[in-house]
């Protein structure tokens, strides 16, 4: 290690940190040191290093789910794939765990087990307060989700308000004037999307109906939409908090004799892979999950080094497809 430090013009401590993948060493310098180590035939004794540093060289990814809910959301699958790629690229292993609400006890059990060096929580679900309590005493934790004022944990997520606003403004531009929002506003991300929906309606042309909320999840939206069509038929557009809910809403509308987009336009949020292949192809708001995974892992590794990290908000992108086409 001393020889590598001399060749690289740095200290032996810097070499040790670089070979451990520390974020305290700039990326270009880590690459240079890794190349010199490879050329010199130097092999890191991972077991000895982990014992010395009291590290496992593994990161946990926790998916919060409600009781009885299965891990089958395409959003989760896509994000897990990006996280696995990024965690592996950083030289760590990945442990996957589901946590049924309330998640405070499962998180504390995981922390106490010492099986990983830090935790990525994949979504806040309805567990914002539990995350606040755990993060108050456990620093190496980051979460995909919405950032709120006075929040004690670090998040990476999409600009939900701006993304929702763009979706509703698009529906208004196509002539829709009675737009229903579908979602569970107890979830912080959904609450922000509902806020963006309301903002767009507040600036809408005269004659636009006020906010209408259909509280439902991806698991309950089909039946809820069937009932809503019978009881409140005077609507011409749906903005759903996620793509699974939007696709279920399309099925329910078709089953109720309402054609999409001729009678009712539908817009989702996420841009899961199936959105482009649904019938009709779904207009949605795209989240940059690859960049999100990079930031989640990068921020977590910085927190492992004792650094303070600010929450990051990524831009949203409206993807227009057939489900929101103007009336002919």
Compute how many other C-beta atoms are within 10 angstroms of the C-beta atom of residue 139. 16
Cα distance between residue 236 and residue 258, in whole Å: 10
pLDDT for residue 11: 84
φ and ψ at 136, to 5 degrees? Answer: -65, -25
Q: What is the mean pLDDT of residues 220-242?
A: 96
Q: What does the block give as tokens for 87?
A: 């965690």
192-207 residue pLDDT tens = 999 999 999 999 999 9
pLDDT for residue 141: 96
Q: Is the pLDDT assigned to residue 138 strictly greater than 90?
A: yes
Q: What percent of the chain has pLDDT over 70?
A: 94
The domains located in the chain, with CATH, are 2-53 (1.10.260.40), 58-158+288-316 (3.40.50.2300), 160-286+318-324 (3.40.50.2300)
pLDDT for residue 43: 60
Q: What does the block give as tokens for 15?
A: 């070499």
Q: What is the mean pLDDT of residues 304-321?
A: 96
22-71 residue pLDDT tens = 777 887 888 888 887 777 766 654 444 544 456 799 999 999 987 667 77
259-309 residue pLDDT tens = 999 999 999 999 999 999 999 999 999 999 999 999 999 999 999 999 999
Average pLDDT, the chain: 91
150-173 residue pLDDT tens = 888 999 999 999 999 999 999 999
pLDDT for residue 312: 97
Cα distance between residue 118 and residue 140, in whole Å: 5
Q: What does the block give as tokens for 123?
A: 């979504």
- Name 14's Cβ contacts closer than 8 Å, sequence gap at least 6: 5, 8, 25, 29, 33
Q: 0.75 exceeded by the pTM?
A: yes
């Amino acid at each position: 290690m001393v020889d590598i430090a001399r060749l690289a013009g740095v200290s032996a401590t810097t070499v040790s940190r670089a070979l451990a993948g520390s974020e305290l060493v700039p990326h270009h310098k880590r690459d240079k040191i890794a190349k010199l180590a490879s050329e010199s035939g130097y092999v890191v004794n991972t077991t000895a290093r982990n014992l010395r540093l009291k590290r496992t060289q593994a990161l946990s990814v926790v998916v919060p789910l409600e009781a009885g809910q299965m891990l089958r959301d395409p959003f989760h699958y896509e994000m897990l794939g990006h996280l696995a790629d990024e965690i592996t690229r950083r030289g760590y292993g990945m442990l996957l765990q589901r946590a049924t609400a309330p998640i405070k006890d499962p998180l504390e059990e995981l922390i106490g087990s010492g099986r990983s060096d830090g935790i990525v929580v994949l979504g806040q679900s309805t567990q914002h307060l539990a995350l606040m309590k755990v993060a108050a005493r456990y620093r190496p934790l980051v979460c995909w989700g919405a950032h709120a004022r006075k929040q004690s944990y670090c998040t990476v997520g999409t600009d939900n308000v701006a993304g929702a606003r763009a979706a509703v403004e698009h529906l208004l531009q196509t002539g829709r004037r009675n737009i229903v929002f579908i979602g569970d506003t107890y979830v912080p991300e959904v609450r922000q999307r509902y806020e963006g929906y309301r903002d767009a309606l507040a600036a809408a042309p005269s004659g636009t109906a006020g906010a209408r909320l259909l509280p439902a999840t991806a698991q309950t939206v089909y039946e809820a939409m069937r009932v809503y069509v019978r009881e409140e038929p005077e609507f011409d557009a749906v903005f759903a908090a996620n793509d699974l809910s939007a696709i279920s809403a399309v099925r329910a509308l078709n089953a109720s004799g309402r054609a999409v987009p001729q009678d009712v336009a539908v817009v989702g949020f996420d841009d899961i892979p199936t959105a482009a292949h649904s019938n009709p192809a779904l207009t949605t708001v795209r989240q940059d999950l690859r960049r999100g995974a990079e930031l989640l892992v990068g921020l977590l590794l910085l927190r492992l080094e004792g650094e303070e990290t600010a929450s990051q908000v990524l831009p949203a992108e409206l993807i227009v497809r057939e489900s929101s086409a103007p009336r002919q």
